[in-house]
Amino acid sequence: AAQVCHSAMWLAKSLGLLDWQSDLERVALVIAAICHDVKHFGRNNTFCISTYHPLALFYNDFRVLENMHAATCFELMKGTGSGSPGSVSANLSRSERAELRSQIIENIFATDMSEHFGILSKFHVKQDSADFTVASQEHRRLIARMCMKAGDIGHSALPWPAHEEWSLRITQEFLEQGDEEAALGLPVSALCDR
């Protein structure tokens, strides 16, 4: 989470996005980056759906893990109750809390790999349009989602020791999922077969 947050914020700063973002937009990106994989248990959405995991049932097979990450984020932010002194958003107005929540959710959802090519395509179309500007909140939010996505999957841009560590970790996670799929008699997912 710390590495994803650092990378996403570095990209946002390097692109000049931070200069245009409101405080609320910046905080939403930081919180989403820190919480984007909170409580992740080493399986992907397809596995959860295929095994009828309780989370898949709860979230109706829709962005199962991302929904869980976002929901957990808000539980952690709540403190002793929404709007209470212990809540991270206690000093925000109702509309600011709604805006913060909306942006955290969309930033966490940007890490859903099943949407990878869709969000890239949308970004390229917007980026190539004559009216694309960081002054537009809609466009800033799209750029923030791209920073989030790049921070999440961009460990190959890190120095070799860090990249190697993350590569080995994700490979181990994939292989363990494949082992469990095989043990359950399910087709082994791509990249998960030993």
For the segment 147-179, what is each residue's pLDDT rounded down to a tens digit? 999 999 999 999 999 999 999 999 999 999 999
Confidence at residue 83, expressed as pLDDT on a 0 to 100 scale: 55
Reply yes or no on whether the pLDDT at 85 is more than 70. no
DSSP at 170: H
- Copy the structure tokens of residue 56: 């898949």
- What pLDDT is recorded for position 87? 80
Helices (H), 15-136: 17-20, 23-35, 45-50, 54-58, 64-78, 94-109, 116-128
Residue type, 26: R
